């Protein structure tokens, strides 16, 4: 029998450390295809590209894995994968991440990581977004690999309700090991936001 086909995407870009870890884990579970943004797309939410060109280029970046980088958003990447890259075979699982930083509460609406997973769920595929609560580009993912594999394997073996995506957040690497998995309601917490008024070298005002 053929192996499960797994689509991997993210919002941190195809060269991020998190997606490298996710690809290496998914290779244990099936055949992997990567379609991911060519640059970071954090905070893009579920944006799609309309009225502009979309570029898609094959990249030899992961060993024994066909990978493509796209000029589009994470949601674009899933659409391109479904309708163009994988048009002859549907994915058995779509995974997004592993994001550098958490995606909890209101962040899910802004998250490109979760938008890739939600786009997959909208298309009827089992989909999971993985995030690590560590924003560092050098974040340590070693403690989450076994859990990523365990959760993805459960979904492949047991399926999920149609239209449902999982949002999985891991704590940063600490001395204590992860004790298990807890299913939670989505929180309503919001970011504290403020804009700083500044001036560029030409004296023109901008906001940060």
Contact 117, 165 (CB under 8 A): yes
Give the Cα separation of 138 and 159 in Å (integer): 33
Closest CA to 41 of 78, 4, 85, 5: 78
Q: What pLDDT, on a 0 to 100 scale, did the predictor assign at position 87?
A: 85
Give the Cα separation of 151 and 123 in Å (integer): 21
5-207 fold = Stationary-phase Survival Protein Sure Homolog; Chain: A, (3.40.1210)
Contact 114, 167 (CB under 8 A): yes
Beta strands in the chain (DSSP E): 5-9, 31-37, 56-59, 66-70, 93-100, 127-132, 165-170, 197-199, 205-207
Give the Cα separation of 181 and 169 in Å (integer): 10
CA distance to 182, 185, 207, per residue, from 179 (Å): 10, 19, 43
Q: Which residues, 6 or more positions from 88, have their beta carbon under 8 angstroms from its beta carbon? A: none
Q: What are phi and psi of 65, to 5 degrees?
A: -135, 130
Contact 36, 9 (CB under 8 A): yes
- What does each of the 208 residues of the chain score in pLDDT, given as a tens digit? 589 999 999 999 999 999 999 999 999 999 999 999 999 888 888 999 999 999 999 999 999 999 999 999 999 999 999 999 998 899 999 999 999 999 988 888 899 999 999 999 999 999 999 999 998 878 899 999 999 999 999 999 999 999 999 999 999 998 788 989 999 888 888 878 899 999 999 999 999 9
pTM score of the predicted model = 0.91
Domain ranges of the chain: 5-207
Q: Which residues, 6 or more positions from 141, have their beta carbon under 8 angstroms from its beta carbon? A: 17, 18, 21, 98, 132
Q: What pLDDT, on a 0 to 100 scale, did the predictor assign at position 26?
A: 98
């Amino acid at each position: 029998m053929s192996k499960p086909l797994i689509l991997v995407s993210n919002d941190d870009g195809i060269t991020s450390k998190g997606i490298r870890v996710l690809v290496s884990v998914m290779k244990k579970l099936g055949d992997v295809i990567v379609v991911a943004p060519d640059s970071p797309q954090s905070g893009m939410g579920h944006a799609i590209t309309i009225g502009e060109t979309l570029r898609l280029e094959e990249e030899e970046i992961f060993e024994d894995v066909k990978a493509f980088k796209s000029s589009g958003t994470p949601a674009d990447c899933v659409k391109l994968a479904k309708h163009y890259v994988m048009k002859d075979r549907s994915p058995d699982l779509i995974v997004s991440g592993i994001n550098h930083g958490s995606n909890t509460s209101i962040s899910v609406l802004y998250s490109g990581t979760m938008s890739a997973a939600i786009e997959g769920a909208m298309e009827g595929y089992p989909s999971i977004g993985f995030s690590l609560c560590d924003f560092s580009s050098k974040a340590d993912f070693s403690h989450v690999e076994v859990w990523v594999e365990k959760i993805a394997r459960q979904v492949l073996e047991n399926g999920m309700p149609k239209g449902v995506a999982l949002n999985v957040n891991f704590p940063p690497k600490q001395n204590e090991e992860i004790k298990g998995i807890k299913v939670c309601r989505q929180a309503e917490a919001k970011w504290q936001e403020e804009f700083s008024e500044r001036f560029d070298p030409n004296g023109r005002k901008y906001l940060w």
